[in-house]
């Protein structure tokens, strides 16, 4: 095992600026998967479970949404919420039990609501409630992607070390090219965030700047 005194951010910057991997690249058609941009995780002014890496993260996300709409490509939104009993959280909901705990994000609660800065088209964009980290787990996502003949996924949201990573691993495992715009994902601590961006880029996805992703999509619109 290599040891280092570098921070996770420094290692990420070194990796991203010295490409050693052939990128997966963009395929013929992409879907935008916005993972859990709900108030429990975006409203840093209200909830201690919330986090922010780039203050314009949701603005960048909406820029991508608008581009996808112009291309008539699928946009998906996920959020987590649980029954009052939290039985649907399973073993994941047993490590802590405080008002801030994951399994205590209840249906119709403020914590389960999407951030007000987002403009979601509920008539034309898929909205899934998920219970576990991956956006694929026990949701209709796979069927939607097959119907739209998608070969590429672009992931936004959080957390980088949790639901983004889990979805990216599942995405690659299902044969999708996977793109992570780095300003569009976030985590509670920069160490988790940058360590997982590094690992995602080296193994499971192309981590890119949102400007480069927008430029790629803009060339197709």
**Angle, CA 130 vertex, CA 85 and CA 193 arms, to 5°:** 110
Q: Where are the domains of the chain?
A: 8-218
* Cβ neighbours around 106 below 10 Å, total: 14
CATH architecture for segment(s) 8-218: 3-Layer(aba) Sandwich (3.40)
For the question of whether the overall pTM of this predicted structure is more than 0.85, the answer is: yes
* Residue among 15, 75, 163, 195 flagged as catalytic: 163
184 catalytically annotated:
no
Q: What is the pLDDT along the chain (221 residues), one digit of tens a residue?
A: 989 899 999 999 999 998 777 899 999 999 999 999 999 999 999 999 999 999 999 999 999 999 999 999 999 999 999 999 999 999 999 999 999 999 999 999 999 999 999 999 999 999 999 999 999 999 999 999 999 999 999 999 999 999 999 999 999 999 999 999 999 999 999 999 999 999 999 999 999 999 999 999 988 87
Whole-number Å distance between alpha carbons of 204 and 170? 9
Tokens 């690992």 -> residue: 199
Please, are residues 44 and 158 in contact by the beta-carbon 8 Å criterion? no
């Amino acid at each position: 095992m290599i040891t280092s005194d570098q921070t996770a951010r420094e290692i990420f910057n070194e990796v991203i600026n010295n490409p050693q991997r052939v990128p997966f690249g963009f395929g013929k058609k992409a879907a935008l998967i916005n993972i859990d941009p709900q108030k429990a995780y975006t409203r840093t002014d209200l909830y201690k479970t919330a986090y922010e890496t780039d203050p314009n993260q949701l603005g960048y996300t909406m820029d991508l949404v608008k581009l996808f709409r112009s291309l008539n490509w699928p946009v998906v939104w996920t959020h987590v919420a649980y029954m009052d009993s939290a039985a649907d959280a399973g073993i994941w909901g047993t490590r802590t039990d405080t008002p801030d705990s994951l399994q205590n994000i209840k249906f119709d609660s403020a914590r389960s609501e999407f951030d007000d800065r987002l403009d979601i088209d509920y008539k034309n964009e898929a909205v899934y409630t998920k219970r576990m980290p991956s956006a694929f787990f026990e949701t209709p996502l796979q069927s939607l992607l097959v119907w739209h003949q998608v070969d590429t996924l672009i992931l936004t949201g959080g957390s980088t070390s949790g639901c983004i990573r889990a979805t990216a691993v599942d995405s690659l495992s299902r044969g999708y090219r996977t793109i992570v715009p780095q300003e569009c994902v976030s985590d509670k601590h920069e160490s988790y965030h940058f360590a997982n961006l590094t690992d995602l880029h080296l193994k499971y996805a192309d981590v890119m700047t949102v400007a480069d992703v927008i430029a790629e999509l803009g060339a197709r619109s």
